Amino acid sequence: MRTESRLTSNDKKVFLALLDNARITDSDISCRIKITPPGVRKIRKKLEEHYIQEYRTIVDYEKMGITVFAIIQIKTVNKNILNNEKIIGAFEINESNITHLLIAGFASLEDLDEYKRTIVKDAEIQNIHVVSKKGFLKNSPKNLIRSQIQRETRG
């Protein structure tokens, strides 16, 4: 793992505790891993400066009325497409006919159809894969991050 500074054993313990529960208090982490709350605070600050970009709320899409997802391969004409409220993830792709891979959420198939009609001024749609909320099986990088932290311990 490329890092600006190596993670110490205590850094890793705090990081894993935050990965399990981003809202955990420094005092709770302190009790859990047996270091002082000021020590935890210092480590958390270091992690937030170098590793943690933000804390996010994981939303139940279905309860918010978002039941359709689309994985869209496009060739952009205008990068403003990335600012669209429907886009929940975007990747730049280096292929001749595809410049971006987008993940977007919609309330319905009709909502997706409307989006497709409006997107044509900003992008050429190359391919779309549509899935229902029930097909959205995983939405978390926790296992990837946990494995990277543990790999660094072994390496």
Region of poorest pLDDT, from 18-32, 51-65, 74-88, 101-115: 74-88
Name the band, by pLDDT with cuts 50, 70 and 90, for residue 154.
low
pTM of the model: 0.76
Q: Are residues 89 and 37 in the same domain?
A: no
Distance from C-alpha of 98 to C-alpha of 92, rounded to nearest angstrom: 9
Q: What's the distance, Cα to Cα, between the start and end of the chain in Å?
A: 9
Asked if residues 153 and 12 have their Cβ atoms less than 8 Å apart, the reply is yes
Domain count, the chain: 2
Q: Is residue 3 part of a domain?
A: no
State pLDDT tens for residues 31-41.
Answer: 999 999 999 99
CA distance 105 to 71: 9
Numbers of helices and strands, H then E, in the chain: 5, 4
Q: Let me know: does 131 contact 139? Beta carbons within 8 Å.
A: no
The amino acid occupying position 126 is Q
CATH of the domain at 47: 1.10.10
pLDDT digits (tens, 9 = 90+) for 55-74: 988 889 999 999 999 999 99
Is there a single domain that holds both residue 70 and residue 120? yes
Looking at the DSSP assignment, which residues form a beta bridge with residue 74? 100, 125
Query: Is residue 91 located within the same domain as residue 110?
Result: yes
Strand 100-106 versus strand 68-76 pairing type: antiparallel
Q: Which domain holds residue 97?
A: 61-135
